[in-house]
Amino acid sequence: MENLILDGNKVAQNVKNQLKARITNLKSKGITPCLATILVGDDPSSATYVRMKGNACGKLGMESLRIHLPKETTTEELVSKIQELNMDEKVHGILLQHPVPSHIDERAAFETIAIQKDVDGVTSLGYGQTAFGFGKYPSCTPAAIMEILDYYRIPIEGKHAVVIGRSPILGKPVSALLLNKNATVTTCHSKTSNLAEVVKLGDIVVAAVGKPKLIQGDWIKDGAVVLDAGYNEGNIGDVDYKACLEHSSAITPVPGGVGPVTISMLLKHTVAAAEETINM
Instruction: Tell me which residue of 280, 279, 263, 278 sits closest to 62, measured CA to CA.
Output: 263
The pLDDT value given to residue 49: 87
Side-chain-side CA neighbours of residue 187 (13 Å): 14
151 and 82 assigned to the same domain: no
pLDDT band at 232 (very low <50, low <70, confident <90, very high): confident
233 and 177 within one domain:
yes
Q: Is the pLDDT of residue 1 over 60?
A: no
Answer yes or no: is pLDDT of 2 > 70.
no
Nearest of 159, 156, 161, 182 to residue 171 by alpha carbon: 161
CATH of the domain at 245: 3.40.50.720
Same domain, 149 and 236: yes
The closest alpha carbon to 218, from 253, 193, 243, 187, belongs to 243
Nearest to 261 by CA among 231, 234, 232: 231
Do 145 and 67 share a domain, yes or no? no
pLDDT digits (tens, 9 = 90+) for 87-111: 999 999 999 998 999 999 999 999 9
User: Would you state the pLDDT for residue 44?
Assistant: 87
Q: How far apart are the first and last CA of the chain?
A: 52
CATH number for 34: 3.40.50.10860
Q: Quick check: is 184 in a domain?
A: yes
Identify the burial level of 145 via C-beta atoms within 10 angstroms of its C-beta, where 0-12 means exposed, 13-18 middle and 19 or more buried: buried
Catalytic residue, from 7, 16, 53, 268: name it: 53
**pLDDT for 183:** 98
Domain count, the chain: 2
pLDDT per residue as tens digits for the range 174-220: 999 999 999 999 999 999 999 999 999 999 999 999 999 999 999 99
Task: For residues 121 and 138, give the distance between their C-alpha atoms in angstroms, rounded to a whole number.
Answer: 5
194: phi > 0 → left, psi -120 to 50 → alpha, else beta; which?
left
**Is 18 labeled as catalytic in the residue annotation?**
no
Banded pLDDT at 11 (limits 50, 70, 90): very high
Pairwise CA distance, residues 150 & 264, whole Å: 15
Respond yes or no: is residue 53 known to be catalytic.
yes
Reported pTM? 0.95
Helices (H), 123-191: 124-132, 140-151, 171-180
Q: Which residue in the list 7, 118, 120, 203 is annotated as catalytic?
A: 120
Domain that holds residue 198: 140-258
Q: Do 182 and 98 reside in the same domain of the chain?
A: no
Between 3 and 56, name the one with better pLDDT: 56
Q: For residue 174, is it within any domain?
A: yes
The one catalytic residue in 7, 97, 117, 159 is 97
**Closest Cα to residue 234, out of 215, 261, 255, 218?**
255
Q: What percent of the chain has pLDDT over 70?
A: 99
Decide if 120 is catalytic: yes
* pLDDT-based confidence at residue 231 (cuts at 50, 70, 90): confident
